[in-house]
């Protein structure tokens, strides 16, 4: 019974049209290298191509700030401050001189060290937006790509996220993460309850997808990002009590399905890459173990078997579906283990610290992120899947000087970022750290609590 209480504590703890051909064969920034040199990037204010009313100026500034935040988070650039600009962006065109008599001169951007320049013009007509963008590689006086985007004003942030994704792909050859989502459990709807919330990667546009008025937790994305599995303490009239059942929510249809309501824990779900199977923790009146079942909740197969009195929880599936990482206290303290997807060849990965939990595979399957506890607090670490090259990514203090807890890691689909929770502000908020630990960004800005965030796969 004590083990079940410990487990419960763990659980509760826009469209664009191309106006110039992209040169997909050129990679300007090699993100696969061990350490990427940051490029100097200039992003002047957007040129208003329609009457510059005060409302349009505010909109333009908001869109510019969203783009700047995206590029800073990418960890690929050092943004050049506007004070260094030699040109007034409001008085020069989007394309270069001499082809455009009023256009900018490449040498004025070269003189301040810019490697890349973004020029964008914004046209507003009623509630319609058109964003015309150009990205230039200054050392070669070359257009990387030019593209127009159209949307409603209310979708201006999505428009900027689309451009940001295209920008990153044009320079690196890999997708950006700016149209992805994050799912988490939160008490935002009231401290008595926890519901599942989906938000943009930067914490905006958060919405509840559950309304159980209970404790809902441990969400996970389906492989295509169109569904979320989660656990909720549902009421069972038969025995007049609540049970942590596993549900599936379809994002596009808003439909909800009960996947597993076996007596005891039904939680910690993770999908196989093809979506055919779900790995989860079940207790069924005994010690919690990891099982595999079909995506419809049938054909249950047990993968771990104790030892008696131990916890085997929090499965994470490798990108190729061949390995399962999980946490277990079979050696005394909870540590990270890896096994084959059929439960064979169990190998302990972590040996340091007092408590290691919440493993998350990187998208290339080479590393694991996890939360490790030492000296009374948790931090985020990464390690190779063979247990070598362990790195600490986080350390933070609360306002009282005590070390904060940083927990619940989950990789972004490009593998360059990790989302996690931290109580450094006094409540458990959501943060993002680069996979090398160099930069951090807080993405929720309220006084509620968030738990077990998971980054979505690419959504397009």
State which residues form the domain around 29: 16-172
Mean pLDDT (the chain, rounded): 92
322 and 410 belong to one structural domain: yes
Instruction: Identify the helix (H) or strand (E) that includes residue 289.
Output: strand 289-294
The answer as to whether 11 is a domain residue is no
Which of 229-243, 405-419, 440-454 has the lowest average pLDDT? 229-243
Q: Are residues 186 and 72 in the same domain?
A: no
Q: Are residues 345 and 311 in the same domain?
A: yes
Confidence class for position 16, pLDDT limits 50, 70, 90: very low
> At residue 75, what are phi and psi to the nearest 5 degrees?
65, 20
Residue 16: how many other CB atoms lie within 10 Å: 17
For residues 206 and 322, state if they share a domain.
yes
**Cα separation, 451 vs 12, whole angstroms:** 7
Q: pTM for the full model?
A: 0.91
Q: Mean pLDDT throughout 152-169?
A: 96
Residues 75 and 155 reside in one and the same domain: yes
- Terminal CA-CA length for the chain: 45
Which of the listed residues 172, 207, 233 is the one where a domain comes to its end? Answer: 172
pLDDT at 18 over 50: no
Confidence of residue 457 (pLDDT cuts 50, 70, 90): very high
Nearest Cα to 42, choosing from 137, 132, 130?
137
CATH number of the CATH domain containing 361: 2.120.10.30
pLDDT tops 50 at residue 89: yes
Q: Is residue 56 in a domain?
A: yes
Q: Is 190 left (phi over 0), alpha (psi -120 to 50) or beta?
A: left
Q: Is 64 helix (H, G, I), strand (E, B) or coil?
A: helix
Phi then psi for 357, rounded to 5 degrees?
-150, 175
> pLDDT of 333-363, one tens digit each?
999 999 999 999 999 999 988 999 999 999 9
Q: Do both 251 and 393 map to the same domain?
A: yes
**Domain limit, last residue, from 129, 153, 172:** 172
Q: How far is the CA of 410 from the CAs of 34, 129, 367, 404, in angstroms? A: 20, 35, 12, 18
Given the structure tokens 């810019």, which residue do they identify? 114
Based on the fold, state whether residues 146 and 60 are members of the same structural domain.
yes
| DSSP per-residue codes, 76-133 | SEEEPPGGG-SS-GGGS-SSBTTTSTT-B-HHHHHTTT-SEEEEEEEEEETTEEEEEE
In the three-class reduction of DSSP (H, G, I as helix; E, B as strand; rest coil), residue 74 is classed as: helix
Domain count, the chain: 2
Q: Is residue 460 part of a domain?
A: no
Nearest to 453 by CA among 228, 284, 249: 228
Question: What is each CA distance from 281 to 135, 325, 414, in whole angstroms?
Answer: 48, 13, 27
Residues 119/124/127/128 CA torsion (nearest 10 deg): -60
DSSP secondary structure letters along 178-240: TT-EEEEEE-TT-TT-BEEEEEETTS-S-EE----SSBEEEEEE-TTSSEEEEEEEEEETTTT
The pLDDT of residue 2? 43
> Are 231 and 265 within one domain?
yes
The radius of gyration of the chain from alpha carbons, rounded to an integer in Å, stands at: 24
Least confident of 20-29, 232-241, 266-275: 20-29
- pLDDT on residue 284: 85
Contact assessment for residue 288 and residue 312, using Cβ atoms and an 8 Å cutoff: yes
Query: 180 pLDDT exceeds 70?
Result: yes
Q: Name which of 157, 68, 84 is nearest 118 in CA terms.
A: 68
Residues 130, 260, single domain; the answer is no
What is the spatial distance between Cα 315 and Cα 327, in angstroms, rounded to a whole number? 7
Cβ-based neighbours of 449, under 8 Å, separated by 6 or more: 186, 187, 427, 428
Q: How far apart are CA 115 and CA 100, in angstroms?
A: 21
Question: For residue 124, what are the β-bridge partners?
Answer: 129
Q: Are residues 341 and 439 in the same domain?
A: yes
Q: For residue 253, is it within any domain? A: yes
Confidence band, pLDDT 50/70/90 cuts, at residue 413:
very high
Q: Final residue of a domain: which of 172, 189, 214?
A: 172
| pLDDT band, very low/low/confident/very high, at 23 (cuts 50, 70, 90) | low
| 206 in the same domain as 310 | yes
Is 10 part of any domain? no
In a domain? residue 1: no
State the CATH number of the domain containing residue 127.
3.40.50.10070
Nearest to 357 by CA among 318, 315, 298, 397: 315
Residue 326 lies in a domain: yes
Q: Output b/e per residue, 248-265; b: 16+ Cβ within 10 A.
A: bbebeeeebeebbebebb
Look-up: residue for tokens 């979320």? Answer: 228
Bridge partners of 279, per DSSP, are 270, 292
Are both 25 and 99 inside the same structural domain? yes
């Amino acid at each position: 019974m004590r083990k079940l209480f410990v487990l419960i504590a763990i659980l509760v703890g826009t469209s664009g049209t191309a106006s110039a051909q992209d040169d997909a064969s050129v990679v300007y920034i090699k993100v696969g290298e061990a350490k990427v040199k940051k490029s100097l990037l200039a992003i002047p204010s957007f040129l208003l191509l329609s009457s510059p009313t005060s409302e349009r100026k505010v909109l333009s500034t908001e869109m510019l700030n969203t783009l700047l935040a995206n590029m800073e988070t990418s960890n690929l650039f050092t943004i050049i401050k506007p004070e260094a600009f030699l040109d007034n962006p409001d008085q020069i065109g989007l394309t270069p001189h001499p082809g455009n008599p009023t256009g900018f001169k490449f040498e004025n951007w070269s003189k301040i060290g810019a490697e890349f320049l973004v020029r964008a013009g914004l046209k507003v007509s009623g509630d319609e937006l058109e964003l015309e963008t150009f990205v230039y590689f200054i050392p070669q006086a070359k257009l990387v790509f030019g593209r127009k985007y159209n949307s409603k004003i209310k979708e201006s942030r999505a428009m900027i996220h689309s451009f940001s994704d295209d920008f990153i792909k044009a320079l690196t050859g890999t997708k950006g993460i700016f149209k992805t989502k994050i799912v988490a459990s939160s008490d935002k709807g009231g401290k008595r309850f926890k519901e599942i919330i989906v938000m943009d990667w930067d914490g905006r546009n958060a919405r509840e997808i559950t309304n159980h008025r209970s404790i809902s937790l441990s969400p996970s994305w389906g492989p295509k990002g169109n569904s979320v599995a989660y656990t909720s303490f549902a009421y069972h009239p038969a025995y007049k009590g609540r049970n942590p059942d596993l549900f599936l929510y379809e994002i596009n249809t808003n439909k909800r399905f009960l996947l597993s309501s076996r007596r005891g824990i039904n939680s910690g779900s993770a999908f196989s890459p093809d979506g055919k199977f779900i790995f989860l923790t079940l207790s069924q009146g005994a010690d919690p173990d990891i099982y595999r079942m079909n995506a419809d909740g049938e054909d249950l197969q047990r993968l771990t078997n104790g030892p008696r009195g131990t916890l085997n929880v929090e499965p994470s599936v490798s990108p190729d579906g061949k390995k399962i990482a999980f946490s277990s206290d079979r050696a005394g303290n909870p540590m990270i283990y890896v096994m084959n997807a059929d439960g064979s060849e169990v190998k302990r990965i972590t040996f340091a610290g007092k408590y290691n939990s919440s493993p998350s595979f990187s998208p290339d399957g080479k590393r694991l992120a996890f939360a490790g506890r030492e000296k009374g607090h948790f931090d985020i670490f990464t390690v190779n899947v063979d247990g070598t090259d362990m790195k600490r990514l986080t350390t933070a203090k609360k306002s009282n000087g005590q070390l904060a807890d940083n927990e619940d890691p989950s990789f972004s689909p490009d593998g360059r970022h990790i989302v996690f929770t931290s109580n450094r502000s006094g409540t458990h908020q959501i943060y993002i750290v680069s996979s090398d630990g160099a930069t951090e960004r807080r993405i929720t800005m309220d006084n509620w609590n968030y738990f077990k965030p998971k980054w979505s796969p690419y959504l397009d």
